[in-house]
Structure 1
Amino acid sequence: MDLGLVSRYRKELYGFCAIWIILFHMAHNAMVDFSFGISVLQPLQAFVSVGSLGVDIFLFLSGISLYYSFQKNQRADLFIIKRLTRILPPLALTYGVFWIARFIGGDYSFAQLLWNFTLISRMVSGLPGGDNGMWFVVFIIGMYLIFPYIYLFIYGVYIEESSEKKSEGFIFMRMAALVVAALLFYWLVHKFDLKWFKISEIGLARIPIFIVGCYAGHLVKENVRLPWPVWIPVFMITIIFFVVVSPPGIRHWWWRLAYFPAGITVSYSLSFMIAAVSKLGSFGRRLQSVLGIFGGISLEVYLTHCILFTNKLGLPLIDGRLWLAIILAAFAVLWALAVGKATKAISKLINKRI
């Protein structure tokens, strides 16, 4: 089987994950019950309840995309500038507007407003606290900044032009060592600084899948194919994840690490489904188109819906009412479309100057 399947349907996967995360926040934060009290619909509620897995899939795909982007031009400064021009304008047009509105409304002092714009507050006061969705922005910016070093560690400098191209085994071992180091760091933080662990584990647990995504980019580029029997455990892990992790229960300190392998396997499982749907004629093409539209503004949708579904702004208003949650979600999508257009224009302008 072609490992490039996730790359081929990358935009649709981004779109699916954006929708999945919105539904997750509807259920988890706004208390919307997608089972409507009907037992036969409980699997739907269970599926929605693990929608945060969409973040792991997003990071896996981001690792692949960043590998390709860095391959084109291995100048770290230009790479980081281009990445930041993709994330900072949407941030300013979503959370920036939200913070200014709260400042005008008297919720923030001017000093607090400036402090928010530094993003430092999201690192020292708790990533999942305050403006909940901001943890991901801080995290992904951090991943952008360290990506050139991850690439350098795994592949070395200008690997494609090297006269002594490193063996696949060498590359895999270095990637595996980096994943082990990330897992060890996760454990050490839990062991010696439990307070900081509680406010940062939501990001720390996602570092391994981002690293694997960086490695997967290389496999996709090299057109690596795996025999079908290898994919049996892929689907088994996917099924086990939904059976074991989905039901509510006691959360161990390491529970979020279960999303690491599942993020990879579910990515490919969804790719198979999208590939199958694409063969359903006009219906399949329309569905692909819708997912593609969401995929093109996935970051913007994430930011706008987080303002409405993870802050005190919209939650008391929704209070489990599905119809109201849908209206707010539609508003978030329209806002995201406008932000997406503005971001493209800004990025184009900046890229012309660098």
Structure 2
Amino acid sequence: MNLSKIIPIRYNLGNLSQYRTPLMGMSIIMILLCHARMDGAQLPDVVLSILSLGNWGVDIFLLVSGIGMYYSISKKGNNINWEGWILSRLKRVLIPYLILESPFWIWYSLHDGTGIKGFFYYISFCSYWTEHVGLWFLALLIPLYIITPLLYKLLSSSYKYLNLGILLVIVMVISVYPVGDNTIINTIQSCLFRTPCYLIGLCIGSEVKESKRSCLIYLIPIILYIILQTFDSFSAVYKGWIWALLIAVLFAQLFSYMSRSRLYNVITLLNIGKYTLELYIGLDISKNILIQFMGLGTSYWLLSICGSIVFAFLYNVVFLKIFSKGLKWS
């Protein structure tokens, strides 16, 4: 077998778009599995350690999302209505979130006596920024979408790679800067260090769209990792996004190679990638409900995954089939 045909030296960046859905599917599977240790699953340590690497699935999702945002903006041209664009992004995120999460938080707020004030406190993500309670990923994604027009202008200019480098340094410096015991700032820092893949995806969007070939895509993650490990100031910086970038590149190439096989649709689980957001929200709801009735453990972990699938199914197959006419977005 010729390895260069499977992993070419000059990588076709277009693979990151062509195999976007399988990459999204892979990312949500990684996310579902990575909670094993924190959910108290009784598995061998080596298995738990491997599954915990699924945390990188978030970074893969953000990379592909960044590329997707470039496509979405660039196809609208220079006369884009930024307010309309932001609104369409927020609708895509908030509609399934509000529909799936609201019933639980209504019950929870009534149960703990906080009433309507408590409901809005939890459903608005305020609880996440102040108490670390809530869907951190969506709490990050919403402000990220709001500032994407500015990021797009910076990362699609003639100096986009310089701007990318500056943004990455700023993000890494802020994320490790000591601020003491301040919950809100600490939470902002914990979110910021997950943004590099989104910035990179937005920056390389034009090259991906043009299916340009480059060998640097392999070298950049490795070089970045070595640099961050060399300087003591950055040794504590989260580096999972670097490996996630490399994994996404390699798996997109693997999907390209596998696409000629009859097993492609089975192995890559194409359809899962279409419901990544709903599965993620469903996982959060499942955990919130299950923890009311049972403790952490293997059953809790497995049932939360099953619950995630059930809620995603209910939203996409049941709810949208009934109300799809009123919930169309671009």
Task: Tell me how far 1:114 sits from its aligned partner.
Answer: 2.3
Match of 2:272 among 272, 294, 311: 294
Match of 2:291 among 314, 320, 344: 314
Give the number of equivalent residue pairs: 310
2:172, 2:234 within 8 Å by CA — same for their partners in 1? no
Query: Normalising by structure 2, what TM-score?
Result: 0.82
Match of 1:173 in 2: 162
Matches within 5 A, 1:239-258: 255=236, 257-258=238-239
Match of 1:145 in 2: 146
Match of 1:191 in 2: 178
Q: Residues of 1 paired with 2:67 and 2:22: CA distance?
A: 15
Match of 2:39 among 30, 35, 38: 30
Taking a change above 3 Å as real, the CA distance of residues 347 and 256 of structure 1, as seen in their structure-2 partners, is farther
Matches within 5 A, 1:57-76: 57-73=60-76, 74-76=80-82
1:6, 1:267 within 8 Å by CA — same for their partners in 2? yes
- Please list the CA deviations of residues 294-350 of structure 1 after superposition, one character each: whole Å capped at 9, or x if unmatched: 1111011111112223x473387263235x643442232021122235468867635
Taking a change above 3 Å as real, the CA distance of residues 200 and 312 of structure 1, as seen in their structure-2 partners, is farther
Q: Residues of 2 paired with 1:304 and 1:141: CA distance?
A: 18
2:21, 2:274 within 8 Å by CA — same for their partners in 1? yes
Identity of aligned residues (%): 23
Task: Tell me how far 1:5 sits from its aligned partner.
Answer: 1.3
Match of 2:122 in 1: 116
Match of 2:211 in 1: 223
Letter in 2 for 1:68: Y
Q: Residues of 2 paired with 1:149 and 1:345: CA distance?
A: 37
Matched, 1:102 2:103: no
Matches within 5 A, 1:14-25: 14-25=24-35
2:40, 2:301 within 8 Å by CA — same for their partners in 1? no
Query: Normalising by structure 1, what TM-score?
Result: 0.77
Q: Which runs of 5+ in 1 are unaligned?
A: 157-165, 245-251
Letter in 2 for 1:57: I
Aligned-residue CA RMSD (Å): 3.1
Q: Residues of 1 paired with 2:202 and 2:125: CA distance?
A: 26
2:221, 2:245 within 8 Å by CA — same for their partners in 1? no
Task: Tell me how far 1:83 sits from its aligned partner.
Answer: 0.3
1:56, 1:209 within 8 Å by CA — same for their partners in 2? yes
Match of 1:329 in 2: 305
What is the SS of the residue equivalent to 1:50? helix
1:4, 1:223 within 8 Å by CA — same for their partners in 2? yes
Task: Tell me how far 1:204 sits from its aligned partner.
Answer: 1.0
Taking a change above 3 Å as real, the CA distance of residues 347 and 81 of structure 1, as seen in their structure-2 partners, is farther
Task: Tell me how far 1:174 sits from its aligned partner.
Answer: 2.2
Match of 1:160 in 2: none
2:37, 2:48 within 8 Å by CA — same for their partners in 1? no
Q: Residues of 2 paired with 1:24 and 1:59: CA distance?
A: 17
